[in-house]
Amino acid sequence: MKLRPMFICFLLWVAFVLPARAVTRIADDMGGPLGDYLLRFSAIRDSGEQIIIDGSCFSACTLVTALIPRDKICITEQAILGFHAGWFRNNAGQRVISPTGTRVLLQMYPPVIRNWITHQGGLGQRTITLKGRELASIYPYCN
């Protein structure tokens, strides 16, 4: 089978000219060290990737809302964001809430998320969850 020059040009155009649609899917992410998430989501933001929240995104994972532009995030019906106060481990290994860290964390979130958190009583020891219609009023469902 002979490939025609026009067809070869088309294949090269598709391979090298069309932008790749990079997507990161978040599901069952219970968080971890803040620094890791700051680096991860900053790199994703800088790359222009789309984020699909398709399950749990708790604790440090919620920094996705602070670092990724709203128009680059979509959700599925399973999406759920879980927020709590910032904390550190003391010398005895116990979790201690950091009022300063919590204030900084709250200020990082976009206003719509900050307002929702405030209406839930703020960031504290217990985790508050944003899901369903409330979450869909902030982020669109994925196509």
State the distance between the two ends of the chain, measured CA to CA, in whole angstroms.
38
Mean pLDDT is lowest, of 16-25, 50-59, 114-123, for 16-25
Whole-angstrom CA distances from 84 to 20, 104, 130 are 35, 13, 12
- Residue 98 in any domain: the answer is yes
- Residue 12 in any domain: the answer is no
The answer to whether the beta carbons of residues 58 and 31 sit under 8 Å apart is yes
Q: Each residue of 43-89: pLDDT tens digit? A: 999 999 999 999 999 999 999 999 999 999 999 999 999 999 999 88
Q: Each residue of 94-113: pLDDT tens digit? A: 999 999 999 999 999 999 99
pTM for the full predicted model: 0.82
Structural domain boundaries enclosing 83: 23-136
- Residue 3 in any domain: the answer is no
- Residue 109 in any domain: the answer is yes
Number of domains in the chain: 1
